[in-house]
Amino acid sequence: MAAGSGETPLCIACIQMEPIFGDTAGNVERIIRLIDEAADKGARLVVLPELCNTGYVFNSRAEAFALAESIPDGPTVAAWSAAAKKRDLYIVAGIAERAGERLFNSAVMIGPDGYIGTFRKVHLWGDENLYFEPGDLGFPVFPTPFGRIGMMICYDQWFPEAYRTCTLRGADIVCIPTNWVPIPGQDPKREAMANIIAMAAAHTNSIYVAAADRIGTERGQPFIGQSLIVSYTGWPVGGPASSDRQEIVLATVNVSDARRKRRWNDHNQVVRDRRPDQYDNDL
C-alpha cells in the first residue's frame, strides 16, 4: 500500500489465552508478555479476551467484587497502559470493573498515551446476571490514528443492533473480548456459530471484526477458543484459531477499505441503503 494514497495498513493481534481464575496479578503479567510477543510480530492493535485479568466463573458476587478494579485508576489498567506506552500500541481488553457498589463486565481501550475509554457489556449471559449490572454506556466508538474502534463483549454480538450501532457511529473495526461457551443446540464438532455471526456482521456492515477468545475449562465451564479476525468482506483474514491452544492470531489489514468498499455499484452502498422508515420503531 503506497504511503500518502489514503491507505491505512494496520497489524491486528487477537491473543487467545487461558486466564487463571483469581490470579489477577499473574494473569496481567502473562498478558503483558503476550502483548510483547504480539508487538514483536508487528501488532499495533492487540485484543485480549473478556475478563482476562480475573477469570470468568465467579461463585458469588462477593468474589467478583473482590477481584474487580476501578477504571482507570486500578492496577490492571496501569500495567496495561505502561505496556501500551512502551510498545507504542493500542490494547482492547476485558476486565471486571468496580464502580462504587456496582460491577460491570467491561472492556477498556488503552493507547500509547494511556487510558482512552470503557465499554460495559450490554447483554449479560447466564450467571453474569447475578454479579454484574447490565452495561449503561451504549456502544462508544473511539478514534485512533488508524481508524475508529468500537467494542462489544461476547454475547453482545448475538444482537445485530450492537454491530449496527457501532457502524453507524463510524466504527471501522469492532474489537470483541470474549469468553465464548458452547451454546445449547450447537454441535461442538462444527464451526463455531460465533464465527458465522462475526462473518455475517463484518460483511453486512463492511467493517473489520477482531474477536479474542479464551480457552480452557474453569470450574467445570469449557470455553471454545476459535478467535478470529474478519475482513469487511466477511471472510476471516486471521484464524479461526484452535479451540484449545494459546495462540496469537495476526492479520495486517487496510483499514481504509472498510469505509471505501461499502459502495458496491452505482446504486448501492450497503450501510447507506438502510431504510429505517420500513423497520419497526423499537429497533
Active site residues per annotation: 50, 121, 154
- The answer to whether 228 contacts a second copy (rule: CB under 8 A) is no
- Applying CB under 8 A, among 5, 73, 101, 278 the residue interacting with a second copy is 278
Distance CA 224, CA 273 (A): 35
Cβ closest to a second copy, residue 201 vs residue 215: 201
Exposure string for 223-260, b = 16+ CB within 10 A, e = fewer:
bbbbbbbbbbebebbbbbbebbebbbbbbebbbbbbbe
Single residue of 20, 32, 99, 270 touching a second copy by CB under 8 A: 270
Measured CA to CA, the distance from residue 226 to residue 195 in angstroms comes to 8
Q: How far apart are the first and last CA of the chain?
A: 39
Rounded CA separation 182/220 (Å)? 12
Shortest CB 174 distance to a second copy, Å:
14
Which of the residues 121 through 140 are near a second copy (CB under 8 A)?
122-129, 134-136, 138-139
CB neighbours of residue 183 within 10 Å: 13
Helix locations, the chain, DSSP H: 24-40, 61-67, 75-87, 128-131, 160-168, 193-205, 255-260
- Choose which of 165, 179, 226, 256 interacts with a second copy (CB under 8 A): 165
Tell me which of 182, 235, 245, 269 binds a second copy, using CB under 8 A. Answer: 235
Could you tell me if 106 and 71 are in contact, meaning their C-beta atoms sit under 8 angstroms apart? yes
Enter the C-alpha cell of residue 257.
477499505
Single residue of 65, 133, 204, 216 touching a second copy by CB under 8 A: 204
Q: Does 265 bind a second copy (CB under 8 A)?
A: yes
Q: CA-CA distance, 207 to 231, in Å (whole number)?
A: 7
Q: Which is nearer to a second copy, 90 or 125 (CB)?
A: 125
Cβ proximity to a second copy, 7 vs 273, nearer residue = 273
Restricting to residues 174-193, name those near a second copy by CB under 8 A: 183-187, 190, 193
Task: State the residues that interact with a second copy by CB under 8 A.
Answer: 122-129, 134-136, 138-139, 155, 158-165, 168-169, 183-187, 190, 193, 196-197, 199-201, 203-204, 233-235, 261, 264-268, 270, 273-276, 278-280, 282-283
